Structure 1
Amino acid sequence: MERPDFPLQEVSKARAAERATSVAAHLDRRFRGQDARVVLDEAINNLFRGRITMVSSFGAESAVLLSLMAEVDPSTPVTFVDTGQLFEETLQYRDALVERLGLTDVRTITPDPERLKRKDPEKFLWQENPTLCCSIRKVEPLARALEGFPAWISGRKRFQGGMRAELPLFEADGARVKVNPLAEWTAADIKDYADRLDLPPHPLVKFGFLSVGCMPCTTRVKPGEDARAGRWRGLTKTECGIHVPNANVLEQEGSGI
């Protein structure tokens, strides 16, 4: 028998990733065109019962997916990454939505303090190397939080453009399956649902922040601009990295996603 040209643990990872790819493709075909609540119900109560978490930024459009999830099961774990660079309004919004929707298992995670001390002692890494900053403050903490979960739920939508334009309902994320219940929703769908349920908007939306991330890398959106135009303005960077394969290993100066 020929010896593999990479470590056996990597073979195991590769096989797990292949399986996740196969499962995600099958589920995407099966549920394509289904209502978002049906997708959530199946994912939470059937497909990955007790083994799935929703990852939420509690940002500008987060209330819609959180509300749908609360209708299905408000005890579903919700993972929130507090990067240490968020707007105070985002933290207040998180607390308000938790109370309003009756969410009972919101898990706030933070970056490794030792990593921050070594790599970002002055809190200016966002200016020198935003990709590494995102990796340390968001990608790495989330990777740790997702251990033990074979699946997770994301709030991304196709209309957000960029890498999200061809977003499936189910996709592989390494050895995990990622569920995108709102992939097929339009901006009008989001607004209609929020208006119908009178969901509170993020406090910064009224000031022109239509996509809210970390404070140093988020700016107001100008009239006529895409909603995510205010994120990492002036850079080619369009994603923090949690939806980009291997983003947590990018540590070279100037590395980009």
Structure 2
Amino acid sequence: MTEPVLLTETRAGVRTLTFNRPDKLNAANDDLLLTLTRAVTEADADAAVRVIVLTGAGRGFCAGQDLGDVSGRDMTFTEHLNATYNPLIRAIRGSGKPVISAVNGVAAGAGASLALAGDVRLWAESAMLVEVFSNIALIPDSGSTWFLPRLVGYHRAFELMALAEKVRAADALKLGLCEQVYPDETFRAEVQAYAERLAARPANALKLTKQALNAAMTSSLDDALDLEARLQQVAGDHWEHEEGVTAFKEKRAANFQSEAPGLS
């Protein structure tokens, strides 16, 4: 029986999507990309899911495009990106759920873009990112030209892309490419624990926060202020806000997991 290209597990409100082509360091083919896009979309629509984790099986996170899968295909680069990678990146960034990129190993090419696309990036000590595109005379795609300069600045992003320099975990942390680095042997447990902490936070407020941050990346200050004011009203009208205020007054931990009786 053929192994599925994507493994799915849900525990404590955390939906973990594991790329499952370990013999190829999880290099992406059409099957993986389309299956992953559907899985992210389904997780976003599932009320039982509060956090989405993307990670890889084996030693790799995602080694980028499986070149053997596209060799000889009668499809332009533009058509391929618009049919596969771009819908996936849009699904990740457009999801109302927090998405964690749990980078367990090499993240190269479009895999680097996936590593950067999460709302939170958690790395194993052995993880490595490389914008490998220039080695085959292509440009970074799948969102890398948008994500990377916003994290490290134009000039460092250009250098990493032009020279295809490898970024190890310790340097990634210093550069702001990840939020946490964990030992390899405890990595998956640490990711689950972090994801469960995030799952305990107010889901509606985080969804609106993600919406505001995404918009602010390309808006003026005036537009950001206007959107904050509109979304703050939406947040304030939600039962989570009442629960947060009540918990503060009662000096207890807020329960954002489910709506309490009597709250509206």
Q: Aligning the two structures, in what range does the TM-score lie when normalised by the shorter sequence?
A: under 0.3
Q: Normalising by the residue count of structure 2, what TM-score does the alignment of the two structures yield?
A: 0.25
Kindly indicate which of the two structures has a greater share of residues assigned to strand.
2
Q: Normalising by the residue count of structure 1, what TM-score does the alignment of the two structures yield?
A: 0.25
Point out which structure has higher relative CO (alpha carbons under 8 A, 6+ apart): 1
Rg larger in 1 or in 2?
2
